[in-house]
Amino acid sequence: MEIQSNNIAKSLKEPHQWVPWRADKQDNGKTTKIPMNCHTGGNGSSTNPSTWGSFNDALKACKRYDFTGIGFVITKNDPFVGIDLDNCRNPETGKIDQWAKDAMDLFKSYTEVSPSGTGLHIFVKGKKPGSKSHIQHP
């Protein structure tokens, strides 16, 4: 997977909240992201900041250890939230459903393809209205 680093906003690159990750295909066929350590190439953690690094640290570790990609860790103390759009993209053709395109147009922010290839993640500045916020698309 080629990382399009020029497409990532500077404000998202600045915090040292980046981890490389490797894809792990589960028994149920879903692919998950396993966080790896920016500094050692060993196991990382989405809850342990000592395994995180700068954007460049994560990028270098990804290349050095041949990981799948890099990811941004969202914490309760920063101004970012993630929007997860499921089942909106055809992984073979790359075609995105209109409702997801509308969401991308609405937020006008950095968007990436999910590990499964069937969804999208949009990162924006904002605050969630509660501990969990789920909206089901019809």
Ordered by start, the domain boundaries in the chain are 8-72, 80-125
Query: Which pLDDT belongs to residue 135?
Result: 64
In this prediction, residue 64 carries a pLDDT of 96
Determine the pLDDT at residue 77: 87
Predicted confidence at residue 8, as pLDDT, reads 86
Q: Are 116 and 30 in contact (CB under 8 A)?
A: yes
Burial class of residue 107 (count of CB atoms within 10 Å of its CB; 0-12, 13-18, 19+): middle
Residue 85 confidence (pLDDT): 94
- The segments of the chain whose pLDDT lies below 70 read 1-2, 132-138
pTM score > 0.85 for this model?
no
Task: List all residues 6 or more positions away from 92 whose beta carbon is below 8 Å from its beta carbon.
Answer: none
pLDDT of residue 133: 66
Residue 136, pLDDT score: 64
Task: Please report the pLDDT score of residue 127 as a whole number.
Answer: 82
